[in-house]
Structures are given as structure tokens and as C-alpha cells.
Amino acid sequence: MKALAAVNDFVVKFANVNGSGSASANALFAKSILRMGVPVSPRNIFPSNIQGLPTWYEVRISGDGWLGRRGGVDLMVAMNPQTWDQDVAEIEPGGYLFYDSTKPMPASKFRDDIHIIGMPLTELCNSTYTDSRQRQLFKNIIYVGALSALLDIDMATMQNLVGEQFRSKEALLQSNIQAMQIGRDYALSEFECPIGLRVERSDAVKDRIFLEGNSAAALGAVYGGASMAAWYPITPSSSLAEAFEIHCNKYRRDPDTGEARFAIIQAEDELASIGMVIGAAWNGARAFTATSGPGISLMQEFLGFAYFAEIPSVIFDVQRGGPSTGMPTRTQQSDLLSCAYASHGDTKHVLLFPEDPKEAFEIGAAAFDLADRLQTPVFVMLDLDIGMNERLCEPLQWDDGRFYDRGKIMTREMFERGDSFGRYLDVDTDGIPYRTYPGTHPTEGAYFTRGTTKDQYAKYSEAGPDYIENMQRLLRKFETAKELIPQPVQRWTDPPAKIGVIYYGSTAPAMDEAFEALESGGISTDGLRIRAFPFSDKVDDFISSHAHVFVVEQNRDGQMRTLLINECGVDPAHLTAVLHYEGTPITARFIASEIVQHLVSTTGSGLKSATST
């Protein structure tokens, strides 16, 4: 039997029982490898349950720095009897199965093309600990200790991490280190260590940081000046709102009085959440909500109101599998159309597509400037893959000289010097009118904000010309947005390729890897990563510069492709959809294989080598 052999390039998957305390042990495993300078990309795979049901943690170790999901499993740590069969089946031939051998398993439960590493974890644990909770928790630490030996992970690095975690709790620190040592010693004495899969110290991590997209986006909201947040709990966005509260408690309290420079409301539903955001923003505070697809559905009427009455608001949509309750704990990019055209009537909204936590922070902060400048809702389109997984990314950056762009605001001083004001007057021909905050001036600047049609002075009007003028101005404003939004990131080969690939958001890490796979398979491709809607003119240029354009996305209906066809007037035949929507993050293997298969079927060329990564 062959044995998989790889250094800094393999996938370990932990199959655990939810609520068994495995999360912190598994995170310790991933972070230890990071501290050895080797990039890792972990992903939580969990059903919609709290306790007792299956949960997985999949860690890709990639010395080359590929952060997308790879697919396949080289070492399975099978700690959940409920999912044993599917877990064992998932292991690559020649791969490894690590399991708790305290209770004997029938031979039929194994495969003969994989390597079995059985360790009596329960027995080791029970002989050391008497407390049942300790027996449960330390079992996880024991297997992490064993993995350090099996994969050649530096024990001192691991111990340092535990030391940081339990800095002020000496007793806990010692018992964790002891458990780790038990596992390591057993593995060293009973198995040939390391196995074919090994971690070797490297310097590929550099100064990069490791954090979840939701936490990064929330930090972006703090830096971007949001002082009001309203939300309703919904997976996978709840941790964004909760992170905002944690960050605010740390960084947003008056140093003298301890009073809050923020207000956070857990609302009664998503309608109230967006209503509060609109109320706060109308009144001059920067405000946001965090939600997911079902929440977006509920907010539709209010989003049309904010568009039509021109009230800035920021919506973080951490997308999950839809429609309906769908796959609440799985990732998708399937809210594009319901956000881009949210509401009844004719509307178009600004969407932003961060690729990772670093951009979730940057774009999360920039969204508030954009919303204020454009006086309209701005959607930050995250997804579960970015939001709820720790991802390696460049350090977060800020400039202390940066000022918030509050947009076109008529101040008391401007009224005092006699400036004229019409709430919906397009004075600068960019479609963006001036607004006033309530309470600005005793006699000037008050107006009635309404969802009904109005004239340029905010006066109720059902006159057709007033309506048309307003709707056309909103389109001009959307044109203006094109210049303000984050521009697409492009990748051009030299000479330019015939094939172009368009992608966005959490597909980026898998796409980066797929580009290289295609290249090494002899398929030259250019790439364009969309970072915002409305589409920059560069998107049109890219499409017209390539004979074949693939649009890679994580939904069933090719929603970005639809948007491109609809907004750029592209011939649908020009855009080929590459769609991955079964709930797990898209992989480079999938993308490369789809593209190659399409090319083979349309051009007949044999380019299959590109699929083998």
C-alpha cells in the first residue's frame, strides 16, 4: 500500500461532536503550524445544531500559501462515531485515519487502502483524570499532543501557545501541557513518527495575521465610525454584531466616564434592525446592521425606502445557503440579486465584495464613507466562508490622517451665509443632493423625508415630470458611484489571454490557485476580481477583451453573470457560468476542472492535465 507523503502540503480533518470542547484544541493545532511559519487555512463545517451533533474542522496546510479549500482529506482525526463511515470514506487512498481505539472496532469498519493509527484516548484520559468534564476536554488536547509527534509539529511552539492562552491560570496551563505530553509520549513510543505527512518550519507566513472575517468587518465598522448598530440574531452574521460589541467595549468607551460612544440594539426582527439604522443615519449617525439572506428578504421594503428617500445605511450580508432556511450553516454567494435590486419598484444598490478579512476590514470601513457620500444603502457582501473562519491575511492598516467623508451636508453656517437648499436638487450634476440633519437651523433646512414621490424641494408631488426627474437623478447618482467604489483587481498574462475569468468575494483564494493550475496545464487565463457593483467600466473592457469569459461563483443561477448581462448588455453566450453551490467552499480543483471540461467540450482540445493539482 502506498503511503501519502508530503511536507507542508496536506489536509487534516477533525470529525468531532459539537459541544465536546474540540474547537479550542483544533484551533491550537492550526495555530501551532502557523507559528512554525507554515500557512494554514482552517474551515469550520457544522450543521445547524448546538450540542451533541457532528461538527468538522478541516485544516489545509499549504507551504505554497494556498488558502482556498483543497478538497479531499489526507489525515482524518475521527472522533465522532456517528459520522465514522462517511469520515473514513473521505480519506484519500494512502491517507491516514487517526481514531480512539479504546473500544475495539470491527475490521469491516476500516479500509485496507489507508493507514490506521489507533490510540486508546479514552483509556489514557480516564487513567489520568477523574472529573468527567476534564476527561472530555483533555481527550482533545491529548490527540493534539499525539498529532504533534505524528506530523512533527514543534512541541515548544505548541506549549508557548497554550502558555499565552492560559497566561493567568497556572493550574490550567499545567494540566493542558500534561495532557499534550501524554499524547505526544504515547505516539512517540507506539508509532513510527513522523508519518508521511510532515510540517517543516518555514518563513511563508511573514507578518500576516489570522482572524475571522466577521470580526474584521466589525472592526472596520469601529474604525469607519459607526456609532449605532441594530441587528437580529441569524447565522452566520451574529458573530459580526457580537464582535462589534466586543470591539466597542474595548475601544469606544469614554476613558474618563466609561460611557459608551456607541449604541447597539438587538432588535425584535430584521425589519426593526434596518428601520433603526435608517432612523439613526437620517439623524446623522453612522449606522449598520448585520444579517444574512432571510434578513435581507425581510428588509426589502425599508431598503426601497432608504434608496428613494436617500438615507445612507450599511448592511453587512453574511451570505449562507438559501432560499428559505436553506443551509443556514453552509456558505454561498446567493444574495446578489436580492441585494442589488432590493425592494419593489426600480432600484439599484451598491454592493461591495471583500475577498478576505483584510478587505472585510477595509471595505467595511469604506462602506460608511460611500453610504454617506452617496446617501444610499451600501451592502458589504460577506459569506460564511469569510465570516466564520479564521483566515490568514495581510495586517490591517489605517491612516491617522484619514477623515470620514460625511458627504454633502448643509450646516448651520452654510444657512447663515445664505446658501440655498433643495433636498433633492442636483446642484453638482452628479446626482447627489445636499441633505440636512434634523435640528440644524431654527428656520432653514427642515424638510419632510418620505417614501412617496416628491419634487426637488422634498414637497409631496405625484406629477410625472417630478417623478421622472427624481428617478433619472438616482440613475445619475448610481453612475457617480462607479468612480467611488473599489475598482476591480485584474490579472493579465503577457501576451493577454483569450480566456478571461471573472470572480469575486470568497472565491478569490481558490481562484488564485486555479489560475496557477490552469497555467501549469497549458491554459493561459486572465482574471478580474469584481469588488463592487455598479460595475466599473474596466469590467466591460475586460469582457470585451476576451473571447471566452468564465464567471465563477457560488450559487445555482449565476447571479453575478445575470447582473453582468443585465447591466453591461453582454451577450449571454459570451459568459460561461462556473457554479459551485453545494454549501462547501469552492475549490481550485473544481474551478480548473470545470473550465478545462468546458474548453474540451467546446474546442475539443485535450487539456486535462490542468485538473491535476
Partner 1 sequence: MTYINKPKLAHPNAAVNELGYTRRYYEGAVSTLCAGCGHDSISSAIIQAFFELSVEPHRVAKLSGIGCSSKTPTYFLGSSHGLNSVHGRMPSVLTGANLANRDLLYLGVSGDGDSASIGLGQFAHALRRGVNMLYVVENNGVYGLTKGQFSATADSGSKSKRGVVNTDSSIDLVGLALQLGATFVARSFSGDKTQLVPLIKAAIEHKGAAFIDVVSPCVAFNNHAGSTKSYDYVREHNEVVNRLDFMPLRKEITADYEPGKVENIVQHDGSVIRLHKVDDDYDPYDRIAAMNYLGDHAAKGEVVTGLIYLDREPQDLHANLGTVTAPLNSLNEKELCPGVATLEAINESLR
- Of positions 8, 140, 148, 227, contacts partner 1 by CB under 8 A: 227
In the structure grid, which three cell numbers stand for residue 168, read together? 493567568
283 counts as binding partner 1 under rule CB under 8 A: yes
Judged by beta carbon, residue 324 or residue 403, the one nearer partner 1 is 403
243 counts as binding partner 1 under rule CB under 8 A: no
Sheet containing 263-266, strands listed edge to edge, beginning at the edge strand earlier in sequence: 263-266, 228-231, 287-291, 313-319, 377-383, 350-352, 532-533
Cα 139 from Cα 121, distance rounded (Å): 6
Judged by beta carbon, residue 304 or residue 488, the one nearer partner 1 is 304
Judged by beta carbon, residue 158 or residue 222, the one nearer partner 1 is 222
Cα 495 from Cα 572, distance rounded (Å): 26
Query: How does strand 377-383 pair with strand 350-352?
Result: parallel
In the stretch 91-110, what mask flags binding to partner 1 with x, by CB under 8 A?
Answer: --------------------
Chain residues 375-434 in contact with partner 1, contact rule CB under 8 A = 395-400, 402-404
Q: Pseudo-torsion of CA 44, 49, 52, 55, nearest 10°? A: -20
**DSSP string across 285-318:** --EEEEE-HHHHHHHHHHHHHHHHHT--EEEEEE
Cα 20 from Cα 359, distance rounded (Å): 33
Chain residues 513-532 in contact with partner 1, contact rule CB under 8 A = none
Judged by beta carbon, residue 41 or residue 227, the one nearer partner 1 is 227
285 counts as binding partner 1 under rule CB under 8 A: yes
- Of positions 99, 305, 353, 550, contacts partner 1 by CB under 8 A: 305
What residues form DSSP beta bridges with 526?
Answer: 500
Cα 149 from Cα 182, distance rounded (Å): 11
231 counts as binding partner 1 under rule CB under 8 A: no
275 counts as binding partner 1 under rule CB under 8 A: yes
Least distance between partner 1 and beta carbon 336 (Å): 24
Cα 475 from Cα 469, distance rounded (Å): 10
Least distance between partner 1 and beta carbon 166 (Å): 16
Give the 3-state DSSP-derived string for 197-234, with helices as H, strands as E and coil as C: EECCCCCCCCCCEEEEHHHHHHHHHHHCCCCEEEECCC
**Among 154-162, 273-281, 490-498, 509-517, the segment contacting partner 1 (CB under 8 A):** 273-281
Judged by beta carbon, residue 125 or residue 234, the one nearer partner 1 is 234
Least distance between partner 1 and beta carbon 152 (Å): 22
337 counts as binding partner 1 under rule CB under 8 A: no
- Contacts with partner 1 by CB under 8 A: the residue count is 72
268 counts as binding partner 1 under rule CB under 8 A: yes
How many angstroms separate the most distant Cα atoms in the chain? 89
- Of positions 96, 231, 302, 424, contacts partner 1 by CB under 8 A: 302
Which one, of 487, 421, 495, lies nearest residue 459 by Cα?
421
Least distance between partner 1 and beta carbon 366 (Å): 13
**What are phi and psi for residue 387, nearest 5 degrees?**
-70, -45
277 counts as binding partner 1 under rule CB under 8 A: yes
Q: Is 334 left (phi over 0), alpha (psi -120 to 50) or beta?
A: alpha
**Among 126-134, 272-280, 481-489, 529-537, the segment contacting partner 1 (CB under 8 A):** 272-280
**Which residue has cell 470580526?**
215
- Of positions 437, 540, 597, 607, contacts partner 1 by CB under 8 A: 437
Judged by beta carbon, residue 177 or residue 228, the one nearer partner 1 is 228
One-letter amino acid for residue 405 of the chain: D
- Of positions 252, 408, 538, 598, contacts partner 1 by CB under 8 A: 252
Degrees to nearest 5, angle at CA 358 with 162 and 406: 130
Judged by beta carbon, residue 403 or residue 418, the one nearer partner 1 is 403
- Of positions 15, 219, 523, 586, contacts partner 1 by CB under 8 A: 219
In the stretch 441-470, what mask flags binding to partner 1 with x, by CB under 8 A?
Answer: xxx--xxxxxxx-------x----------
In the structure grid, which three cell numbers stand for residue 190, read together? 507506539
Least distance between partner 1 and beta carbon 227 (Å): 4
Q: 501: helix, coil or strand?
A: strand
281 counts as binding partner 1 under rule CB under 8 A: yes
**Among 10-18, 49-57, 225-233, 585-593, the segment contacting partner 1 (CB under 8 A):** 225-233
